[in-house]
């Protein structure tokens, strides 16, 4: 028979079962299988699971739940080997479980989950569909509206008449030579870092009390916007060398890919997609066509005048001759400026410099507490910068998504069709009778970026206009 000790000191029991109890507790629902244990003489056997080994003794839990202590020397060789094997398995599980808990703890305390999306992401934008050429003004504007609401601002460039695209390509090629590469890339990297901060420090960011209250319920939008900023202003998408060496269609396609999901999400969640105006066209004067923008129940909210050219439409009110003269004016103004001499416009550059300083401290934070301390200092600065930035980037009433004046010194006012991109994703004033929509950040110093990058879907300012939104009020 086994020599069982039904009474032994509490200390001995704790020591005896310590390893087994830890293993059993930490292994979750996984428990050791019951085995048969036979005494040295082979005359008695019991069924039980190993709980642990200590000081030459084996702690077993019998089928009825009773715990017994057995000396190893009182077991047959097969049972002793079995005990050692089971104990090794138990120790291995303890190590595995300990490592698992350590990894879980590290993951929970990390700045961001391994999956940086963190369970939030912008919905995939519908696939881009180019608007066919040689259509009437109503069909062209309807196609532009639909593609913009699907998150694809590149449609503005793609629907320009051939001569307008050629003029823009020439102007843009000169513009990117004139901009100061260091100033531009510094501003661009600051915006990319801000996006990276949102994504890669999301747990620390959303656990800050003030920021958590600000972002409550909109974490997904913040993360999607952060990812868009990070990708849009990356070296691979809008780095100055890429701007100077990549064809404009390829360049705009890359930018479109970066921001399409978040634009589509913004238009959809804001309700703009559901209340997009219908387009009704009627013949106008001087060979033009008037397209009215009509909302259900409300009726007409404005109109644009378009003129046909090269199988497309100049739809922002300029006649072909006036548009050509305007491009010529812009191009000549740029050509007179030395290469690599145009800095990011002040005070925008100063605001981005302040932002860069606060971002450096936040990105360098090594733990949640340090990050929150840095954010305590940064948030009031950001609020002040935002208020100041509204004055810098605020558009005249009627301009959707960007300023009327050029972003570079010496440039004429106005922007390409569609206006400029709104700064920092902040809502910019739209046409008084139409709600504005958050725009995407503009390319620093590039006069509102590519044609129509953000802003109200139909709130485009005509090139050089003083911000009347391109609308003829009814």
Mean pLDDT of the chain: 76
Residue 249 in any domain: the answer is yes
User: What's the total number of domains in the chain?
Assistant: 2
Kindly state whether residues 75 and 178 are assigned to the same domain: no
Q: Say whether 377 sits in a helix, a strand or coil.
A: helix
CB-CB contact of 304 with 138 (8 Å): no
224, 345: one domain: yes
pLDDT band for position 333 (cuts 50, 70, 90): very high
Q: Which of 470, 136, 451 is nearest to 307 (CA)?
A: 136
CA distance 302 to 279: 10
225 shares a domain with 84:
no
Residues 104 and 160 in one domain: no
Co-location of 399 and 354 in the same domain: yes
- Domain assignment present for 442: no
* pTM assigned to the model: 0.63
pLDDT band at 20; cut points 50, 70, 90: very low
DSSP 275: G
Classify 453 as helix, strand or coil. Answer: coil
Give per-residue pLDDT as tens, 281-318. Answer: 999 878 899 999 998 888 888 999 999 999 899 998 88
Residue 119 CA neighbour count, 13 Å, CB half: 6
Is residue 291 domain-shared with residue 188, that is, in the same domain?
yes
Higher pLDDT, 190 or 411: 190
The rounded radius of gyration (Å) of the Cα atoms in the chain is: 34
Band of the pLDDT at 114, cuts 50, 70, 90?
Answer: low
Asked if 172 and 45 sit in the same domain, the reply is: no
Q: Residue 235 domain-assigned?
A: yes
Is the pLDDT reported for residue 406 higher than 60? no
Among residues 409, 425, 441, the one where a domain terminates is: 425
Q: Is the pLDDT of residue 464 over 50?
A: no
More confident residue, 138 or 269: 138
Tell me whether residue 26 is in a domain.
yes
Looking at the structure, tell me whether residues 207 and 319 fall in a common domain.
Answer: yes
Same domain? 285 vs 142: yes
- What is the rounded distance in angstroms from the CA atom of residue 444 to the CA atom of residue 203? 29
Q: What is the pLDDT of residue 465?
A: 36
Whether 161 and 232 share a structural domain: yes
How far is the C-alpha of 3 from the C-alpha of 214, rounded, in Å?
Answer: 68
The residue among 435, 142, 69 whose CA lies nearest residue 275 is 435
**In whole angstroms, what is the distance from residue 94 CA to residue 311 CA?**
74
Do 78 and 17 touch, CB atoms closer than 8 A? Answer: no
**Among the ranges given (158-167, 188-197, 222-231, 392-401), the one the predictor scored with the smallest mean pLDDT:** 392-401
**What is the residue range of 185's domain?**
137-425
Same domain, 158 and 295: yes
CATH code for the domain of 95: 2.30.30.700
Q: Look at residue 1 in the predicted model and tell me its pLDDT.
A: 45
Q: Which of 25-34, 132-141, 142-151, 393-402 has the lowest mean pLDDT?
A: 393-402
pLDDT attached to residue 37: 92
- Which pLDDT band holds residue 381 (cuts at 50, 70, 90)? confident
Q: Give me the half-sphere count of Cα atoms (radius 13 Å) on the Cβ side of residue 187.
A: 25
pLDDT of residue 407: 34
Residues 97 and 217 in one domain: no
| pLDDT at residue 447 in the model | 34
Instruction: Report pLDDT digits (tens) over 122-164.
Output: 678 999 999 999 999 999 999 999 999 999 999 999 999 999 9
Under 8 Å CB-to-CB from 436, ≥6 apart: which residues? 400, 401, 427, 428, 429, 430, 455, 456, 459
Name the least confident of 205-214, 392-401, 402-411.
402-411
């Amino acid at each position: 028979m086994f020599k069982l000790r039904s009474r032994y000191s509490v200390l001995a029991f704790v020591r005896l079962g310590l390893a087994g109890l830890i293993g059993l507790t930490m292994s979750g629902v996984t428990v050791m299988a019951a085995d048969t244990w036979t005494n040295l003489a082979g005359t008695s056997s019991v069924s039980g699971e190993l709980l642990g080994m200590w000081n030459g003794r084996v702690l077993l839990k019998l089928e009825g739940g009773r715990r017994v202590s057995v000396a190893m020397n009182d077991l047959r060789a097969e049972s002793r080997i079995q005990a050692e094997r089971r104990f090794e398995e138990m120790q291995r599980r303890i190590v595995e479980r300990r490592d698992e808990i350590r990894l879980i703890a590290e993951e929970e305390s990390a700045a961001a989950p391994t999956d940086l999306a963190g369970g939030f992401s912008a919905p995939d934008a519908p696939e881009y569909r180019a608007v066919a050429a040689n259509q009437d003004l109503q069909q062209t504007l309807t196609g532009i509206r639909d593609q913009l609401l699907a998150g694809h601002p590149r449609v503005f460039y793609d629907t320009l008449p051939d001569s307008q695209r050629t003029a823009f390509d020439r102007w843009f090629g000169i513009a990117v030579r004139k901009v100061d590469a260091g100033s531009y890339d510094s501003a661009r990297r600051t915006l990319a870092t801000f996006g990276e901060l949102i994504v890669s420090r999301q747990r620390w960011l959303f656990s800050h009390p003030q920021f958590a209250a600000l972002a409550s319920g909109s974490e997904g939008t913040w993360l999607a916007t952060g990812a868009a900023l990070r990708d849009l202003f990356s070296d691979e998408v809008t780095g100055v060398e890429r701007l100077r060496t990549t064809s404009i269609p390829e360049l705009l396609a890359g930018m479109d890919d970066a921001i399409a999901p978040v634009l589509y999400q913004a238009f959809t969640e804001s309700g703009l997609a559901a209340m997009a105006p219908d387009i009704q066209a009627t013949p106008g004067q001087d060979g033009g066509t008037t397209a009215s923008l009509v909302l259900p129940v409300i009726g007409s909210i404005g109109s644009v005048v378009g003129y046909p050219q090269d199988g497309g439409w100049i739809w922002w009110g300029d006649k072909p001759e006036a548009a050509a003269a305007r491009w010529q004016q812009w191009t000549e103004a740029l050509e007179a400026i030395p290469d690599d001499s145009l800095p990011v416009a002040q005070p925008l550059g100063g605001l981005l410099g302040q932002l860069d300083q606060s971002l450096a401290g936040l990105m360098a934070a090594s733990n949640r507490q340090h990050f929150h301390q840095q954010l305590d200092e940064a948030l009031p600065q950001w609020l002040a910068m935002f208020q100041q930035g509204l004055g810098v980037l605020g558009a005249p009433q009627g301009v959707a998504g960007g300023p009327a004046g050029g972003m570079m010194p010496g440039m004429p006012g106005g922007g390409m069709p569609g206006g400029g991109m709104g700064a920092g994703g902040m809502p910019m004033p739209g046409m008084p009778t139409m709600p504005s929509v958050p725009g995407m950040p503009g390319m620093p110093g590039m006069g509102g970026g590519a044609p129509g990058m953000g802003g109200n879907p139909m709130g485009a300012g005509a090139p050089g206009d003083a911000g009347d939104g391109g609308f003829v009020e009814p």
